[in-house]
Structure 1
Amino acid sequence: ETLGINIELPPAKVARCVDEVGIGFLYAPLLHTAMKHVMAARREMGIRTVFNMLGPLTNPAGANAQVIGVYSPALTEPLARVLAELGTIRAFVVHGADGLDEISNTGESQISEVREGVVRSFRVRPEDFGMSRAAIGDLQGGDRAENAQIIWHILGGGDGPKRDIVLMNAAAALVVGGKARDLKEGVGLAAHSIDSGAAQRKLETLIEFSQKLAHEK
């Protein structure tokens, strides 16, 4: 939202973003109305609950390929098995070093892969992506405004550990989506998208299109 994307579009307009821009933002409380009633309770509890896992499993887009992050390494395989039962064709369920719910460049990450009904688990290191290891402090963000600036900096060609972790997770999405054969190739494709300016242009297009749709009747 701080980037300028209108995140409160109804489902039909989010679908138009996906169809016409190639990317859309799904805001759970608008798409799963029951979520509205649990958000306040979740905030008050201040602990992880089953809803941390329900969100990705109830993706209204019916995505048959996805990357999902979980907060514990013990959850990667169970969640992958659920996705396989739900008919997901390809997925990575990931947990990274230092408790990150994404692939990490601070150490090893665990991945449970779903591929045509079969689940297998493996570990990856930053070196497998051609990346150097970072410290967790190198990835620290800030408030919404600072985080938005970090995103623009990365998309503008900024270098460093924050860019590296973006490339690593983008690589996973490209592999799952069938655009890259392996993680190293995925890193190369993601880096080219940023360095060519294509990734930044895509975000700018989404911002403009989402705001346009917000003002349409």
Structure 2
Amino acid sequence: MKLLLTKLFENQQLDRQEACAVLQGIGQDKYNAAQIAALISVYIMRGINIEEFLGFRDALYQLGTDLTALNAYKPLDIVGTGGDGKNTFNISTLSCFVVAAAGYKVAKHGNYGASSVSGSSTVMEQHGVKFTNNIGELERSLDKANLCFLHAPMFNDALKVVAPIRRELGVRTFFNMLGPLVNPIRNQHVLLGVFNLKMLRMYQYIYQNTNIDFSIVHSIDGYDEISLTDSFKVVTKLGEQLCTPNQLGFEQLNQTSIYGGETVEQAAAIFSDVIHNRATSAQKNVVIANAGFAIQLVDKQKTIEECIGLARETIESGKLKETYRLFLELNS
């Protein structure tokens, strides 16, 4: 690690094998917290290149639990990189539950918030969800409630080691970027939110060299999801488009209307309000928009207008509330 840190401090870059080896070393608990924090800090200051990114991903694949047997369900994941500094409520996680309630299989990979008040694992735990890495229990939840939740550190030793360091740093790190790529089920359908265009292009490059059916979304004002606060890009294997909220029948929102609050309890309350169809129209619409694009990713016969309509009906009919009740029964 000393040699690698010296190389990085001299503004040199790691090759793919070096990047893989150093992250494997973290997962094997070879380095102390100060060394890991120094490594992370390098990439906060200068960013990460494609070879380093692929090397880190390779290591996480090798260190992670293999749940690819659950690919038989063809589940979708909706995930954001986080780190956009916007502190929204748990839009991606709620969108996952809407998609599941609409009848599609979802395997949500999540973690505690490192740079925001409430990550997906944070809000799940706040609602009494017990995390598991038991494949039988995960399959039962996926089978009966259409959704299972994968708490990332339970499936990867490296993520477990760096979790407390990331929390103490409290800023965006390259682990925000890696998380969406290392769902242990290796989902073949992924709706990914990114907070800048450089990251969008990096993921686009990586996904185009896989068999993953992807949709990458980015709001022009810097959100790692469809925020409805500005125009947003949607990139798939077929190309890209720039959309506005008005084109999809939504009013453009102001940023304060999708703020997640100052505490975990406030974020959890917003989450519950959306589940029970008592949220504000802004909170509900932003979830509907993200769920709509996720539904279209797995059900391409439907127009985006039909997918948005299905997402709205799922919330307003009570299907979302019923699916979430069943999920809690299976996972508490």
TM-score (norm 1): 0.87
- Structural mapping, 1:114-153, within 5 Å: 114=237, 118=238, 120-142=239-261, 143-153=263-273
How far 1:180 sits from its partner (Å)? 6.0
Which of structures 1 and 2 has the bigger CA Rg? Answer: 2
Give the whole-Å Cα distance in 2 for the aligned partners of 1:161 and 1:22: 26
Three-state SS of the structure 2 residue aligned to 1:95 is strand
Give the whole-Å Cα distance in 2 for the aligned partners of 1:205 and 1:48: 34
How far 1:134 sits from its partner (Å)? 0.8
Task: Report the equivalent of 2:331.
Answer: 210
- Structural mapping, 1:164-203, within 5 Å: 164-178=285-299, 181-203=302-324
How far 1:39 sits from its partner (Å)? 1.6
Task: Report the equivalent of 1:93.
Answer: 216
5+ long unaligned stretches in structure 2: 1-124
Tell me, yes or no, if the aligned pair for 1:95 and 1:109 is still in contact at 8 Å: yes
Task: Report the equivalent of 2:155.
Answer: 31
Tell me, yes or no, if the aligned pair for 1:73 and 1:110 is still in contact at 8 Å: no
2:271 maps to a residue whose letter is I
Label 1:156 to 1:47 Cα distance change in 2 as closer, same or farther (>3 A).
closer
How far 1:121 sits from its partner (Å)? 2.2
2:241 maps to a residue whose letter is F
1:21 equivalent in alignment to 2:142: no
2:224 maps to a residue whose letter is D
TM-align CA RMSD? 1.7
1:87 maps to a residue whose letter is N
4+ runs deviating over 6 angstroms: none
- Structural mapping, 1:56-135, within 5 Å: 56-88=180-212, 90-114=213-237, 118=238, 120-135=239-254
1:176 maps to a residue whose letter is L
Tell me, yes or no, if the aligned pair for 2:228 and 2:245 is still in contact at 8 Å: yes
5+ long unaligned stretches in structure 1: 212-217
1:77 maps to a residue whose letter is R
Label 1:137 to 1:180 Cα distance change in 2 as closer, same or farther (>3 A).
farther
Label 1:99 to 1:180 Cα distance change in 2 as closer, same or farther (>3 A).
farther
Task: Report the equivalent of 1:9.
Answer: 132
What CA deviation, in whole Å up to 9, does each residue of 1:75-116 have, x standing for no partner? 21320221232210x2111111432110111111122213xx
How far 1:63 sits from its partner (Å)? 1.1
The more displaced of 79-88 and 175-184 is: 175-184
Task: Report the equivalent of 1:161.
Answer: 282
Give the whole-Å Cα distance in 1 for the aligned partners of 2:292 and 2:207: 20
How far 1:179 sits from its partner (Å)? 6.2
What CA deviation, in whole Å up to 9, does each residue of 1:127-176 have, x standing for no partner? 12210011001111222222222122223223411111000000011011
Give the whole-Å Cα distance in 2 for the aligned partners of 1:170 and 1:75: 22
Task: Report the equivalent of 1:214.
Answer: none
2:230 maps to a residue whose letter is G
1:194 maps to a residue whose letter is I
Tell me, yes or no, if the aligned pair for 2:194 and 2:218 is still in contact at 8 Å: yes
Give the whole-Å Cα distance in 1 for the aligned partners of 2:276 and 2:171: 36
Aligned length: 205
